[in-house]
Amino acid sequence: MAEIRSVGIPSPRVEGEQKVAGAAVYAVDVRLPDMLWAKVLRSPMAHARIKRIDVAKAVAMPGVKAVLTGADLAGVKIGKKIVDMPLLAENVVRFAGEKVVAVAAESEAIAEAALDLIDVEYDELPIVSDPLQAMRSDAMLLHPNVADYKGLLHKIETPSNIFVHLTWKKGFANPISWSKIPTRLPRCTRHTSSPIAHWCASIAMARRKSGRQTRVRSACATWSPAHCRSRPQA
């Protein structure tokens, strides 16, 4: 059996030459036949009730193929663990930048222009910006239907801004007095928001042909099947 050596031996990246030569093909470079471009209109409000959405001008714009709002995708939610985020905001937006309206058009420029024709009227609501205040029983409730969400780690009897409450208990095999052990436990730690490196552009494409769907996506992880469901099964 041949000896396999790896320690101390250079291992060049298989795509290295293509990247440094500018020949690598990224998801943003892919063009599919008859491809449509999708753009989303995002909320400028951190917390608000959606009073009205007028998409008539965007729908009538030449080159626009589809315009979707939360009403078109009612009940469809996603989430890594707790399934709590609607694909498009339904009645309420809960953070600045939440997706409200999606447009599909023949070109990126047309899709961008269509967003400017959409009129959304908001009724601003109080925000919750402090974690300790958010946990109070009298705090503004961000998810009134949290008890109905899928993926909860435990049953929630009374809706609140606390999704998960877990208790860990660890000790020693032999009895010992905790008073003799120097211990310092912080009651709460806080971290200010800070920018991080943007690893990759958020690009995704899909093509359906002969009952099969091909997807192209730029991401650091594989495409989760949960992200591919367009509508829950009846």
| Residue corresponding to tokens 């409200």 | 100
User: In 3-state terms, what secondary structure has residue 61?
Assistant: coil
Interval 38-47 mean pLDDT: 96
The mean of the pLDDT values for the chain is 82
More confident residue, 182 or 205: 205
49 forms beta bridges with: 92, 123
Interval 108-113 mean pLDDT: 96
User: In 3-state terms, what secondary structure has residue 138?
Assistant: coil
Contacts of 151 (CB under 8 A, 6+ apart): 79, 81, 82, 83, 84
| pTM > 0.95: yes or no | no
State how far the Cα of 65 lies from the Cα of 38, in Å rounded to an integer.
10
State how far the Cα of 202 lies from the Cα of 108, in Å rounded to an integer.
15
Model pLDDT for residues 55-101, shown as the tens digit of each residue: 999 999 999 999 999 999 999 999 888 999 999 999 999 999 999 99
Model pLDDT for residues 88-104, shown as the tens digit of each residue: 999 999 999 999 999 99
**Does the domain at residues 32-130 carry the CATH identifier 3.90.1170.50?**
yes
Token output for 108? 């990126």
Which candidate, 179, 216, 187, 186, places its Cα nearest to that of 201? 216
